[in-house]
Amino acid sequence: QLRFHDKWLKIDLQRAFSPEGLSEMWNEMVKDEEITFNGEESAHTEDCINCFGTQKKDEPNDKEKKEEEETPTSAHHSIIETWDWGRQPDETELKDCLMVLVEDQQKLSGQMAKSTLSAQRLRQRLVILERYLISLSHNMMEEKYKIRWKTPPSQPLPAADNKSPRPASKSVEGLARVGSRAALSFAFAFLRRAWRSGDDADLCSELLQESLDALRALPEATLFDEGTVSSVWLEVVERATKFLSDVHGNASTKGNIPLQDQHLALAILLELAVQRGTLSQLLSAVLLLLRLWDNGTREMDNERSTQGTSAPLLPLLQRFHNIHSSKEEAVSEEDVEIPTAPLSPNESFLRYLTLPQDNDLAIDLQQTAVVIMAHLDRLASPYSPPHCNSPSSHKGTLQEVMAWGLLGWKLYANVNGPIQCKALSSLGVAQIVCSEKGFLILSSSGAVYTQNYKSTTLSPMLIHGLSSRKVVRIAAHPDG
């Protein structure tokens, strides 16, 4: 049994060669129901009473009856009895009877040899050693898959880089950092001088527009995994973010910057936050939008327009609209028109939100911040457990339940890593506890389900005896 593998890996095999240790290990296997007897294993139960705990002693009368029943089963007795009142056997029949007699004697000798105490103990030791080897091989298989999952094979380096890869990479990275710093310093100085003097306004707008178009052409969150991104690029993004933040944060320099360049700088800053892909960067961008809208409403009077509280940010909202989580449930067009489950306020807002088609149209900054927060809530909802008052099968919100180990429905598929149990995703799991033969599931609605480890399909069964009660918490233990 799989659950006893760890226990057998911890035993001392040397104790199997002592009578006390052998009896203890054998009784342990009998207690764990890993050994079953057919009643014919031993003829000397009085010599090893502890060994055969499940075998009962036969009464003397029962033994005599068994001996009487087993006596006429010998083949040579039936042959000799036919000669008592029949004709005398010839030479061939005598030889055949002799062969049968020898065969019966060999069987009897084998049974006598197997029934000796030394043979029984040898057989018990072999069974114990076999049980230990089964646990050891299973553990080695798990370790092999675990190492393969933790340390994937690395790609071989090119032959030209095998001599000195570190100095070459450091020198290239140093040159790239020097070049990027010089280019950024020149670009920032050029923009500041042009905005201060008012010259080369077209070049400034063209430079910002090309940068914005390049960022919009990239997929989302390209800089999210900083471990795979060059530190030079991260430094460039940090410096660009700081410069663009100063454009909107410094009131003295903001007055000299054309409105079109302010909008382009804001759009670039928001696109950089999307490329970073972290929640902190996106929330900082939302706070910037709200701060700009608040400052614009304070400065706005009856004679001025709403230029300080709006910007052409429709491409950014369309990008958020096209981002789909990998854990979102696919919704067909019919389900979009006719919802089968109650919608949350955020889902209703996004369902009936219609964006204008003109990308150059300026939209309110506060409304932009609200739409971004709604999309962030949509992307985060599959990772959050459903509420207690929500239906079990909530559209677009699937809970992630992972399983890892040798289970009946995925015997060897998930040894090298956890797998997702899609059959449990719609239950609204609040708690899972493991028992001896299965595990129990408590849903957020108070229902209790059970699933057997050895079951070939993952289909939790509702415990109807507890359906009339709302269970708050459950408990179990793997040992029963």
Query: Model's pTM, two decimal places?
Result: 0.53
Q: How far apart are CA 60 and CA 185, in angstroms?
A: 105
β-pair partners for 431: 442
383: number of Cβ within 10 Å: 12
Phi and psi angles of residue 461, each rounded to the nearest 5 degrees, phi first: -105, 135
CA-wise closest residue to 378 among 396, 365, 390? 396
Task: State how far Cα 39 lies from the chain centre.
Answer: 47
Domain ranges within the chain, ordered by starting residue: 2-73+115-148, 172-383, 402-466
Distance, CA of 173 to CA of 231 (rounded, Å):
8
φ, ψ of residue 218 in degrees (nearest 5): -80, 150
Tell me what pLDDT residue 35 has.
77
- What share of the chain in percent tops pLDDT 70? 74
Contacts of 28-36 with CB under 8 Å at 24 or more apart are 29/127, 29/128, 29/131, 30/54, 32/1, 32/4, 33/1, 34/1, 34/4, 34/131, 35/127
**DSSP code at position 82:** T
Which alpha helices (H) appear in 115-258, and where do they start and end?
Answer: 117-150, 165-197, 201-217, 231-249, 251-254
Contact call for residues 351 and 343 (beta carbons, < 8 A): yes
Q: How far apart are CA 269 and CA 212, in angstroms?
A: 9
Q: Point out the residues of the chain with pLDDT beneath 50.
A: 39-66, 68-69, 71-72, 149, 151, 157-166, 302-304, 334-335, 340, 388-396
What pLDDT, on the 0 to 100 scale, is given for residue 413? 56
Cβ atoms within 10 Å, residue 128:
21
What does the pLDDT read at residue 337? 53
pLDDT at 267: 93
pLDDT number for residue 426: 77
